[in-house]
Amino acid sequence: MELYDLIIIGGGPAAWSCGMTARNRGLSCLVVTAGASLSGLAKAHMITNYPGVPNVSGEDLLASFRAQALDLGVEEKTGNARQVMQSGDQFMVLVGNDIFQSRSLVLSLGAARPKMLPGEEEMLGHGLSWCGTCDAMFHRNQPVAVISSWNGGAEEAEFLANVCSSVDYYTLARHDLPEASDKIHLLDAKPLSVTRSDAGSVLRFKNADGTEDEKAYHGIFVFRPSVAPSQLLPGLRLRDVFIEVDTAMRTSVPLVYACGDCTGRPLQIAKAVGEGNIAAISAAEDLQAKDKEKNA
């Protein structure tokens, strides 16, 4: 398995800018992105304050950042980074069912905060999971619910159906659904909240006719195209809802940097691009210092 110098989790202007400078500094670099359409920039109709590129659509500007980074040798993996684990000197990033390894890490997750269901945070790790691959085995031959807001949930449901006795599939937002089968049941009901009781993991939902109901499962899986930073990398210090960084974009975790909207206001492209550049330079300097220390 390739060991990258740097893995960047993102896919907006901060990530691509960081990737460009990382390549200029000679670092091997992988950008893991849940998808261009999820960048704040993709939603911007017209940008008039980004220097040198007057009156450009957000979509075009983003495509141009990406193309420039790929031209410089940045690699790209499409998928949701669900968890980062540290093993010795290395970071292991879980993307779908794959693991990617690096010596340093940049978080450029954007400002979107996943809105959790009432009860979700308390139940995480106690009958509720965000990762099918990690936790399906705890529910072997048992009924589970999937609550999903994006296409990744469909893939997960199919995987869970191989392990669990049945999968009830609830949607939080419109997306490509899995195929209904003996094991996968597509439900027309809106999840409202989750709780843990003697009956198991209980999902309360609103039916299409407006009535409310609840059902107990052995486990509940929730899939969204983003993960809260502190869940992604335990130990990361936050300031309010943003990732705490110093002026070199270093976070509270050594060799982990953050840039762009996820570090705080102003939520602007120029700031995201500038911070991405600084994060790459800091990562290059810290890796070089580490190598020197090792070889001394």
Q: How far is the CB of 64 from ligand FAD (least distance, A)?
A: 13
User: What is the nearest approach in angstroms of ligand FAD to the Cβ of residue 105?
Assistant: 12
Residues 199-238 touching ligand FAD, rule: CB under 6 A, are 225-227, 232
Candidate list 6, 7, 8, 9; residue touching ligand FAD; CB under 6 A: 9
Peptide linkage before 266 cis (omega within 30 of 0): yes
CA 163 to chain centre: 24
Q: Which is nearer to ligand FAD, 248 or 270 (CB)?
A: 270
Out of 20, 27, 29, 32, the residue judged to bind ligand FAD by CB under 6 A: 32
Tell which one of 6, 27, 41, 280 touches ligand FAD (CB under 6 A): 41
Among 6, 11, 128, 258, interactor with ligand FAD by CB under 6 A: 11
Which residues contact residue 124 at a Cβ distance below 8 angstroms, ignoring those fewer than 6 apart? 130, 231
Question: Would you put residue 269 in left (φ > 0), alpha (ψ -120 to 50) or beta?
Answer: alpha
Q: Cα dihedral sign for 24, 25, 26, 31?
A: negative
Residue closer to ligand FAD, measured from CB, 157 or 233: 233
Residues 6+ apart with CB under 8 A from 63: 36
Alpha-carbon span 235 to 229, nearest angstrom: 10
Pair 130, 223: CB distance under 8 Å: yes
**Using the rule CB under 6 A, is 43 a contact of ligand FAD?**
yes
| Pick 76 or 214: Cβ nearer ligand FAD | 76
Interactions with ligand FAD, residue window 55-114 (CB under 6 A)? 80-81, 108-110
Cβ proximity of 79 and 72 under 8 Å:
no
Q: Which residues of the chain form contacts with ligand FAD (CB under 6 A)?
A: 9-15, 32-35, 38-41, 43-44, 47, 49, 80-81, 108-110, 225-227, 232, 260-261, 267-270, 272
